[in-house]
Amino acid sequence: MNSHNSAAISALPDRLGEDGFGAGRLMSPDSVAQLIRSGRFLSIAADESQLRRLPRGNWIGGTIPYFMGQDGGVSSRDALFVTVFPMLAARPSIRFYDAAELPRVCADAPENGFSLVIIPAFSALHSRFAHDAPGYDDMYVKPLVGWIAGIHLDDLATARPAVVNGTTLEADCERAIVMHVDLPPSLHARIDIINLFRQGSGDRIRFPATGFSADRCLINGQPANFAEYVVARGIDTRLPLVADYSGALVNVSFKGVDRERRRVDFYAPVFDEIEYRVAAEVPDYVRAFQSAMPDAERPVAFCCNCILNYLYSELEGKQTGHMRGPMTFGEVAYQLVNQTLVYLSIDAD
């Protein structure tokens, strides 16, 4: 994957082209700094080196160098993806949440509005949120949308994903950063998910322990090593494991198979009480993903897409309709989801 060069970054726009929701786009560092100084409320996705250069202001940030920009999919350590949130009602609030506080994130949200959360990948909080979020107070009552901060895939062994509170410029690898956004009574927020995957008809898989990796497993009730199972069966690891939560399908994406350690790593935790199956084949991944895009007439206030969709749909240099945003290590649509596209729209009553 290629990165923007400095000439391309300098050609990015000096300001957002829209004054309202749906204005997300890639911007140059100097332009983002100017926007922050204007007092706007922003969500910013960028390489950590760029986030640490920004001035204090009304913004939250997360690390990631992959984006769906206005000119298509791109990997860049220099550009920043910025989403603006207009102040249409009360002033938005920004704060960190640790593991003890995050269960109150929806209870703390405005009665009419939404909350945007960014969580560092592979943190203890990431795992806790994946497991516990469905039981949070006011979950599914108040819209919670967001993403899992990541890093360049070349840096997986050397760097940690982080989030930033722009009001203090404090970065953190273990807490979540949240912006609560109020909306006037005439507007309401809606969250939608594009998920290409359904459970396949293959083996029933369970794991004896919760975690981002697994060695031991039960295949149709029989003990096995999961890495050996994946290799022996020739499992296509572009297809996620899928759990059926009473009709809600939740993906767990493969990060890699470590044959030496006889272990499989994931981008989201597997849980010991859940039954999984490998997803059914998608005959044409690229075409299926493109055809699932929603109607372009509907304005989108925020969007994020999984890094694996970027890779497997070969999205570098390609557009996903009017959907623009960071390509992430996980998506939040109330609870944690994987290998999906999540978007927030603001509709008039």
pLDDT tens, 242-253?
998 777 788 999
Instruction: Summarize pLDDT for 36-52 with one digit per residue, the tens.
Output: 999 999 999 999 999 99
HEC states along the chain? CCECCHHHHHCCCCCCCCCCCCCCEEECHHHHHHHHHCCCCEEEEECHHHHCCCCCCCEEEEECCEEEECCEEEECCCCEEEEECCCCCCCCEEEEECCCCHHHCCCCCCCCEEEEEEEECCCHHHHHHHHHHHHCCCCCCCCEEEEEECCCHHHCCCCCCCEEECCCCEEECCCEEEEEEECCCCEEEEEEEECCCCECCCCCEECCCCEEEECEEEECCEEEEHHHHHHHHCCCCCCCEEEEECCEEEEECEEEEECCCCEEEEEEEECCCCCEEEECCCCCHHHHHHHCCCCCCCCCCEEEEEHHHHHHCCCECCCCCCCCEEEECCEEECEEECCCEEEEEEEEC
Q: What is the pTM of this model?
A: 0.86
**Once rounded to an integer, what is the mean pLDDT over residues 264-276?**
90
Instruction: Summarize pLDDT for 145-193 with one digit per residue, the tens.
Output: 999 999 999 998 899 999 999 999 999 999 999 999 999 999 999 999 9
* pLDDT value at residue 298: 66
- Confidence class of residue 282 from pLDDT cuts 50, 70 and 90? confident
Beta-carbon count within 10 A of 39 CB: 10
- Confidence class of residue 21 from pLDDT cuts 50, 70 and 90? low
Task: Output the CA–CA distances (angstroms, integers) from residue 169 to 21, 40, 59, in the order listed.
Answer: 24, 16, 9
**Once rounded to an integer, what is the mean pLDDT over residues 72-90?**
92
User: Which of 329, 341, 255, 309 shows the shortest CA–CA distance to 63?
Assistant: 329
Distance in angstroms (rounded) separating the CA atoms of residues 67 and 165: 21
Distance in angstroms (rounded) separating the CA atoms of residues 148 and 331: 6
**Once rounded to an integer, what is the mean pLDDT over residues 283-300?**
75
Q: Does position 88 have pLDDT exceeding 60, yes or no?
A: yes
Residue 248 in tokens: 């809600």
- Confidence class of residue 20 from pLDDT cuts 50, 70 and 90? low
Query: Do 86 and 20 touch, CB atoms closer than 8 A?
Result: yes
- 26, exposed or middle or buried, with CB in 10 Å at 0-12, 13-18, 19+? buried
* pLDDT value at residue 285: 73
* pLDDT value at residue 2: 42
User: Which of 198, 189, 212 shows the shortest CA–CA distance to 342?
Assistant: 189
Q: Does position 265 have pLDDT exceeding 60, yes or no?
A: yes
Q: Which residue has the higher pLDDT, 22 or 122?
A: 122
* pLDDT value at residue 347: 87
